[in-house]
Amino acid sequence: MRWVQVQAPIDALGVAFDDSGICRVQFGGAPPNVPLAEPDEVLGRAVDELTRYFAGEDVAFSAPLSVRGGSEFERAVWRELAAIPYAEMRTYGQIAAAVGEPDAARAVGTACNHNPIPVIIPCHRVVGADGKLVGFGGGLWRKKILLELEARVRIEREFGLA
């Protein structure tokens, strides 16, 4: 596994790549004492896309992913998260229903917490049934910043303010 670091308004992100694609995004940067790699084509694309995302671009992440681990349910949740459009939100219950387990909203929360590739697989776009910000492995302050960034970009785009 090779690591690079991306500076972001939510703190540094460590981004890991294996032979198949991006396999991890870690808040707080790359693990200590791990040498940072020179980005190759795929890793460079992920760094570029994350940099553009944090600069306020509506980015459709295209770098290949290498999702490791997770139960069948978690992987289904992660696929559903990846399908949430930019600047839109879903509730835990909506995700549970979408994966065929309508009573599993809490389990969706756990799957979101186990998401190995946050931001790129946008678990921050999932909110409580009442629309409140709840549960985010990176801290609610990060979730708030990510949602505010996307909302600002969407408003600017829709009203021609950009």
> What are the residue numbers of the active site?
123
Residue with tokens 């040498």: 35
Q: How far apart are CA 90 and CA 124, in angstroms?
A: 10
Q: Which pair of tokens denotes residue 58?
A: 């509506």
- Contact criterion met (CB below 8 Å) for 69 and 111: no
CA-to-CA dists, residue 106 to 5, 39, 50, 150, angstroms = 32, 37, 29, 25
